[in-house]
Amino acid sequence: MSEAERGWPLWEVFVRPRRGLAHTHAGSLHAPDAELALRNARDLFTRRGEGVSIWVVPAAAVSASSPDERDPFFRPAADKPYRHPTFYEVPEGVRHL
Amino acid sequence: MEPGRERFERTIAADERIEPRDWMPDAYRATLVRQIAQHAHSEIIGMQPEGSWITRAPSLRRKAILIAKVQDEAGHGLYLYGAAETLGVDRDELLDKLHSGRHKYSSIFNYPTPTWADVGAIGWLVDGAAITNQVPLCRCSYGPYARAMVRICKEESFHQRQGYELLLTLSRGTPEQHAMAQDAVDRWWWPSLMMFGPPDDASPRSARSMAWKIKRHSNDELRQRFVDICVDQAAALGLTLPDPDLRWNEERGHWDFGAIDWDEFHAVLRGEGPCNEERLTRRRRAHDEGAWVREAAAAYADKRAGVGAAA
Ligand SMILES: [Fe+2]
Ligand SMILES: [Fe+2]
């Protein structure tokens, strides 16, 4: 089956709204290649100046953590309150700490 | 209870969002696919009634606005197909179902647009009804759908305002222009009220969608909200709404309105509306006539990939 019959691959689109901000996920779209994915992403997600930079990534190239293992996967963080500044006691009156 | 279902129910109860890779009941998935696909199809078919006026817009300003609006509707369709695909369906498969008539789209788009004032009435009433329906969907329990709706709602407010401004201009124009505006409102008012779907007691799937927090308000509740909003807006336009039973109900704190012709609604839904055939035929033709573009783009991508591999 040709690419056209199969349908164009899916791309995930990330948009940087302003200089100084990170790219964030905006959505996905179909396109035959990266160049057209970028053009389509511009027309689809930045019609009102919502971005100054776009990344497109083939959806098939994204690896994700499993939702089923969500709790055990993130558990190592749960019992380490000493990673937060609020864990520590500071005497009254001490400033800039 | 299996852990997946338990987590699903806990997430819904806590008013948090379900995301694509989470476990979800098959019926929840199927309901969303049907609703999101129908919504996407409506955006795409919805380009036609107004699109036919692009070449005949009365000024360059109006023409540019209309092109931007119709382009937005194409974008809305694409956001929604994207949201549907996160549920494991394929966009091509959904388009097939639209083209073969197995999927529905909103029956409002099966009405004709014989005059320029129709572009205004669609913006004010049809986009207005859509906004009333869609704002609560921004809090829908399925994350990708809710996020698509946030983008869509931001864009819809321009659609409604340009329509309102267009009607206001006509209403304040010559007597002929005023009459044209009134005629368009007379034709679009009742079909717009039908956009909220059958009355609550005839809407069997509503309760389940509300329990799943896909839907947040009942059809009748949203319809009432829309009527209440429109009455003052119509007065400010200097136009009337074609309903002799429209009157303020002090006790309810809402406007009472006349009976909706549900036979008409069901007939249009069955395919007997004035433009069902025309809309689908045109959609199929556009798809077929675009085949060479899809093929050429894919062939170019293949060729470039080959060059990359050889280098
Ligand atoms: Fe739209
Ligand atoms: Fe719209």
pLDDT at B309: 61
pLDDT tier, A65 (very low <50, low <70, confident <90, very high otherwise): confident
Going along chain B from its start, the domains and CATH numbers come out as: 3-261 (1.20.1260.10)
**pLDDT at residue B308 in the model:** 61
CB–CB contact B82 A67 (8 Å): no
pLDDT of residue A2: 43
Instruction: Tell me whether residues B85 and A28 touch, CB distance under 8 A.
Output: yes
Low-confidence ranges of chain B (pLDDT < 50): none
Virtual torsion, Cα B222, B162, B126, B150, nearest 10 deg: -50
Q: What is the pLDDT of residue B205?
A: 83
Measured distance CA(B54)–CA(B67) in Å, rounded: 7
Q: Which domains does chain A have, with CATH numbers?
A: 3-63 (3.10.20.520)
Report the C-alpha gap between B186 and B53 in whole angstroms: 20
Interface test with A, best of B85, B154, B159 (most A CBs within 10 A): B85
Q: How far is CA A80 from CA A11, A38, A64, A74, A75, in A?
A: 37, 42, 24, 12, 10
Which of these, A37, A2, A5, lies nearest to B303 by C-alpha position?
A2
State the pTM of this model.
0.93
Share of chain A above pLDDT 70, in %: 94
Residues of B in Cβ contact (< 8 Å) with A56: none
Query: What is the interface pTM, i.e. ipTM, of the complex?
Result: 0.88
Q: What is the pLDDT of residue B1?
A: 66
Choose between B40 and A78: higher pLDDT: B40
Amino acid at A52: V
Q: What is the mean pLDDT of residues A80-86?
A: 92
Alpha-carbon distances, residue B189 vs B50, B134, B264 (angstroms): 17, 19, 14
Q: Do B75 and A28 touch (CB under 8 A)?
A: no
Determine phi and psi for B249, rounding to 5 degrees: -110, 105
Q: A89 C-alpha to center of ligand 1: Å?
A: 54
Three-state SS at A79: coil
Residue B57: the pLDDT is 97
pLDDT of A72 higher than 90: no
pLDDT of residue B4: 87
Cβ of A67 and B72 within 8 Å? no
Ligand 2 centroid to residue B123 C-alpha, Å = 7
